[in-house]
Amino acid sequence: MITKREFLQAALATSALWGLSGHGNWGRLAAQQALSQDKLLEFEDFGNVTLIHVTDIHAQLKPVWFREPEVNIGVGDARGRPPHVTGQDFLTMFGIPPGTPDAYALTHEDFVALARAYGRMGGMDRVATVVKAIRAARPDSILLDGGDTWHGSMTSLRTRGQDMVNVMNALGVEAMTSHWEWTFGQDRVKEIVDTLPFPFLGANIFDAEWDEPAFEPYKVFEKGGVRIGVVGQAFPYMPIANPRWMFPDYSFGIREERMQAVVDELRETEKVDLVVCLSHNGFDVDYRMAGQVRGIDVILTGHTHDAVPEPVLVGETILIASGSNGKFVSRVDLDVRDGKMLGFRHKLIPVFSDVIAPDPEMAALVDAERAPFKAELEEVVGTTESLLYRRGNFNGTWDDLICDAIRSERDVQIALSPGVRWGPSLLPGDPIRREDIHNACSMTYGQVYRTEMTGETIKTVMEDVADNLFNADPYYQQGGDMVRVGGLSYAIDVAAPMGQRISALTLDGGEAVDPARSYTVGGWASVNEGTEGPQIWDVIEAHVRKLGSVRLEPRTTVTVTGA
């Protein structure tokens, strides 16, 4: 494995660019054991352009616990490269001492103890404080939202995204792109977009019937005498990963040639000095795209929920990965002169909710959005004695709880649960409130189906999902994690080709899965129209109420090789 320093030097050696990151400041802060708002926000102004990036907030209005992944395997060229570095390796690569606030914010190491020491992260009122402070220092900055904003909570589901729209409008977002927004249906998306005071960008969103661009591809900003072109790239695999029938008039895709054409248009026709891509491709897809498309200076990457404390250079393009759930805000200062980006200074600002003061106006707005649902949201359904988390390539304890609920409430042998990357954590001893359950499963297609599948079909499904995650070509990766399973253990060789990764499928109790036999299977988040069954949050709530107190140690049902 290469160290952070070697990694950066290798990247910088091939580039005329030079840059600094605020990461060194974190280390010093930790050494001083002194977290303060001023120090978290400390930033020596640089250059003449400032970008502020938030992404994948998943409707988390309030501060959350969010455990970063323990397992995040990179395949092919991405092996061992950020963000596919976790835990102690991550700390070593970036020179972060264990036990420090940044170790807590960025890794799973010693998560529960550090969470108790450093508190929840995020909260849109705290994010507002950070954004306002940056704007006070740099009035000409641009605030960009990478999408997955309107979805992920009970209030966003009930208001069909309106709570988040109101909050992001108040925050002063200047452009956004999209993914889960579309799961409210294309009519709702269009209804909201018509009211937005900023563009809903997507160079790769096409009219499915006419095969021509359907949304604004870019917006040109004039800030401090610099012309900045911001291109939007929506999630490419929208109609595959989410229900196509909810947005039948639109087609997505990576559309690399289209991206090149738009970048060329910005440079040649719009005469911009700087090209920024606000992307929901996912990190590895953006990494490859950065090497294929000429002329992008900065990619603000989203979708795969990675928080990387340093910009990653690909040629002369910098990739900025700003995490998820409101845990981080990225500030990127750039020196742009005569149509060239000459240097950068960057800081991934961790939003420690106990350190950064809530912005009073935003706090009031968040409370107003929650008020109509407050009693329902906060009703305690049970408690957990164990850490509940999801993020990681394979089952987390939240997923195990969900699979247990499906098996028990729907009386099935096998449960399947989608490997989404959203869903905050709960600490041992936390009450499980209704909204905590929603945070782990809120969606517009949450029906829990009950069906029969042959052993062969189950393997086919798992092979299909595994290839979406572990295909060595990032353009074939959809950015979710492996489907979670209950009542089933298996082995996976991530390096094997599609169709040969999954083996040793075994039922609880040790009986091998027979390809020819039928098994009862329950699951949620089916992309098929007309799926019937109770909503997943109701299934989980019923299960938790019966348990009263949840105790779930991490299970060893998946054996991984080839990593």
Partner 1 sequence: MNLNRRKTIALGAGGVAALLGTAALAQTAAAPAAAPAAPAAPATPAASAAAAKTTDQWIAEFTGGAEVTDGGVALTAPEIAENGNTVPVSVAAEGASEVLMLAPGNPTAGVMIAKFGPAAGKREIATRIRLATTQDVVAIAKMEDGSFKRATANVKVTIGGCGG
Taking the C-alpha atoms of residue 478 and residue 63, their distance in angstroms, rounded to an integer, is 28
Helix 434-441 with 397-410: angle, nearest 10 deg: 100
* Torsion of the alpha carbons at 394, 396, 400 and 401, rounded to the nearest 10: -150
- Closer CB to partner 1, residue 141 or residue 468? 468
Which residues lie below 8 Å from residue 439, measured CB to CB, with a gap of 6+? 60, 64, 152, 153, 154, 423, 424
Q: Binding string to partner 1 for residues 517 to 546, with x set by CB under 8 A, is what?
A: --------xxx-------------------
Q: Cβ(265)–Cβ(272) under 8 Å?
A: no
Helix (H, G, I), strand (E, B) or coil at 79: coil
Residue 483 binds to partner 1 (criterion: CB under 8 A): yes
- Closer CB to partner 1, residue 52 or residue 57? 57
Beta partners for residue 380, in sequence order: 433
Q: What is the DSSP string of 401-452?
A: HHHHHHHHHHT-SEEEE---S---BB-TT-EEEHHHHHHHH--TT-B-EEEE
Considering only residues 228-247, where is the footprint of partner 1 by CB under 8 A?
235, 237-242, 244
- Closer CB to partner 1, residue 289 or residue 355? 289
CB of 268 to partner 1, least distance (A): 19
Residue 64 binds to partner 1 (criterion: CB under 8 A): no
Helix (H, G, I), strand (E, B) or coil at 540: helix
- Closer CB to partner 1, residue 8 or residue 176? 176
Per CB under 8 A, the list member of 89, 361, 385, 464 interacting with partner 1 is: 464
Residue 213 binds to partner 1 (criterion: CB under 8 A): yes
Tell me the chain's radius of gyration from C-alpha atoms: 22
Residue 446 binds to partner 1 (criterion: CB under 8 A): no
CB of 527 to partner 1, least distance (A): 4
Residue 452 binds to partner 1 (criterion: CB under 8 A): no
Considering only residues 162-181, where is the footprint of partner 1 by CB under 8 A?
179
How many other C-beta atoms are found inside a 10 Å radius of the C-beta of residue 354?
13
Residue 475 binds to partner 1 (criterion: CB under 8 A): yes
Taking the C-alpha atoms of residue 350 and residue 405, their distance in angstroms, rounded to an integer, is 34
Q: Which stretch binds partner 1 (CB under 8 A): 14-22, 68-76, 251-259, 392-400?
A: 251-259
- Structure tokens given for 303: 């979708």
- Closer CB to partner 1, residue 89 or residue 209? 209
Per CB under 8 A, the list member of 38, 212, 511, 532 interacting with partner 1 is: 212
Considering only residues 409-438, where is the footprint of partner 1 by CB under 8 A?
418-422
Residue 147 binds to partner 1 (criterion: CB under 8 A): no
CB of 525 to partner 1, least distance (A): 7
- Closer CB to partner 1, residue 344 or residue 394? 394
CB of 468 to partner 1, least distance (A): 7
Helix (H, G, I), strand (E, B) or coil at 277: strand
CB of 529 to partner 1, least distance (A): 12
Helix (H, G, I), strand (E, B) or coil at 545: helix
Q: Binding string to partner 1 for residues 496 to 515, with x set by CB under 8 A, is what?
A: --x-----------------
Q: Cβ(366)–Cβ(125) under 8 Å?
A: yes
CB of 398 to partner 1, least distance (A): 13
Residue 279 binds to partner 1 (criterion: CB under 8 A): no
User: Which stretches of 174-316 are assigned E, i.e. beta strand?
Assistant: 175-176, 206-207, 212-213, 218-223, 226-233, 250-251, 274-279, 298-301, 312-314
CB of 203 to partner 1, least distance (A): 12
Which residues lie below 8 Å from residue 123, measured CB to CB, with a gap of 6+? 60, 61, 62, 63, 64, 326, 351, 353, 358, 366
Q: In terms of Cα–Cα distance, which of 344, 532, 281 is closest to 290?
A: 281
CB of 14 to partner 1, least distance (A): 27
Q: What is the DSSP string of 340-389?
A: EEEEEEEEEEE-BTTTSPPPHHHHHHHHHHHGGGHHHHH-EEEEESS-B-
- CA quadruple 89, 93, 94, 95: dihedral sign: positive
Considering only residues 358-397, where is the footprint of partner 1 by CB under 8 A?
none
- Closer CB to partner 1, residue 336 or residue 416? 416
Residue 268 binds to partner 1 (criterion: CB under 8 A): no
Size of the site for partner 1 (CB under 8 A): 48
Give the footprint of partner 1 on this chain (CB under 8 A): 179, 193, 207, 209-216, 235, 237-242, 244, 249, 251-254, 257, 418-422, 460-461, 464-465, 467-468, 473, 475-476, 478-481, 483, 498, 525-527
